[in-house]
Amino acid sequence: MSKKDSSRRWMREHINDKFVKNAKKAGYRSRAVYKLIEVINKEKFIKPGNKVIDLGAAPGSWSQMAIKAVGKSGQVIANDILNIKPIDGIDFLQGDFTENSVYEALLNLTMNQKVNVVLSDIAPNISGQPSVDIPKSMYLCELALDIAIKSLTPSGYFFVKVFQGDGFDMFVESCRTYFSYVTIHKPKASRTRSKEVYLLANKLKPAKLM
Ligand SMILES: C[S@@+](CC[C@H](N)C(=O)[O-])C[C@H]1O[C@@H](n2cnc3c(N)ncnc32)[C@H](O)[C@@H]1O
């Protein structure tokens, strides 16, 4: 399919998509919010008062949802390489998450306290070539796992988008090394043809606590 044809198909699907319509009606910035909402409704992993890190947050629908879920006593720290329109109550840090300075600044924003949830919907710019896109995405997932291991409370949750392909099984295995429970989810809002799935990991194994 040519680039022009696939853009047309994307536009047609976007206009008719029920998740796009619902997001618009509910004031969310992206249909992506329904991927998070489906798994939260099932697994109840963001609670009032929680501290949450949201990686790859732009345009901000997951952060909008997370701040509602944690309420005034909680905290949401969001990061993206792109800027976002401010969201009430969100501590936003713009910068490339793969850079050490950004990584350290994120941890500083938690005031060196452990967090309850690390979310990552990070996706690299997709070139359409799986041999390029999948390794890039795996690298971002590995970094997100690293920040999760370092910043989560023992009972914390790590929720991350992963693309199925080379390195997928190894990434799941790494998560199983660090966490007691690991489950894979394909929310309804995630397009069937997309290779993305969401991994939810919970309870750091005591020997792996940092
Ligand atoms: C699918 S979007 C996230 C959508 C978001 N969860 C929402 O609900 O609005 C993926 C994001 O990952 C970000 N991203 C990609 N590489 C990044 C990096 N190295 N550092 C920070 N953000 C990055 C992109 O800029 C993009 O906004």
Single pTM value for the model = 0.93
What residue ranges do the domains of the chain occupy? Answer: 33-208
HSE (side-chain half, CA atoms, 13 Å) at 153: 11
Residue 7 has pLDDT above 80, yes or no: no
104 to 10, 95, 140: CA distances (angstroms): 37, 11, 16
Give tens-digit pLDDT for 31-73: 999 999 999 999 999 999 999 999 999 999 999 999 999 999 9
Q: Count of residues for the chain? A: 210
Who contacts 68 (Cβ-Cβ below 8 Å, separation ≥6)? none
Pick the CATH number of 33-208 from 3.40.50.150, 3.40.50.300, 3.40.710.10, 3.30.1360.20: 3.40.50.150
Contact (CB, 8 A) for 88 and 67: yes
Give tens-digit pLDDT for 124-133: 888 878 788 8
Residue-by-residue DSSP string for 56-78: S-TT-HHHHHHHHHH-TTSEEEE
As given in the structure block, the two tokens for residue 96 are 């490339």
> Residue 210: pLDDT band by 50, 70, 90 thresholds?
low
Residue-by-residue DSSP string for 139-179: HHHHHHHHHHHHHEEEEEEEEEEEESSTTHHHHHHHHHHHE
Give the pLDDT score at 170.
96
Give the pLDDT score at 160.
98
Give the pLDDT score at 184.
98
For 19-34, what is the mean pLDDT? 96
For 109-123, what is the mean pLDDT? 92
Nearest residue CA, atom 13 of ligand 1? 56
Atom of ligand 1 at shortest range from CA of 29: 9
Give the pLDDT score at 134.
86
Does the Cβ of 83 fall within 6 Å of ligand 1? no
108 to 53, 102, 169: CA distances (angstroms): 12, 10, 32
Q: What are the φ/ψ torsions at residue 13 (nearest 5 degrees)?
A: -65, -40
Give tens-digit pLDDT for 138-180: 999 999 999 999 999 999 999 999 999 889 999 999 999 999 9
Give the pLDDT score at 12.
72
Identify the bridge partners of residue 91 per DSSP, sorted by sequence position.
77
Give helix 168-178 / helix 130-151 axis angle, nearest 10°. Answer: 10
> Minimum mean pLDDT among 29-38, 119-128, 182-191: which range?
119-128
Reported ipTM: the value is 0.99
Residue type, 204: L
Residue 1 has pLDDT above 70, yes or no: no
Report the 10 Å Cβ neighbour count for 35: 24
Instruction: Tell me which residues are annotated as active site.
Output: 161
Who contacts 42 (Cβ-Cβ below 8 Å, separation ≥6)? 185
With the most atoms of ligand 1 within 8 angstroms of its CB, the residue from 121, 147, 191, 195 to mutate is 121
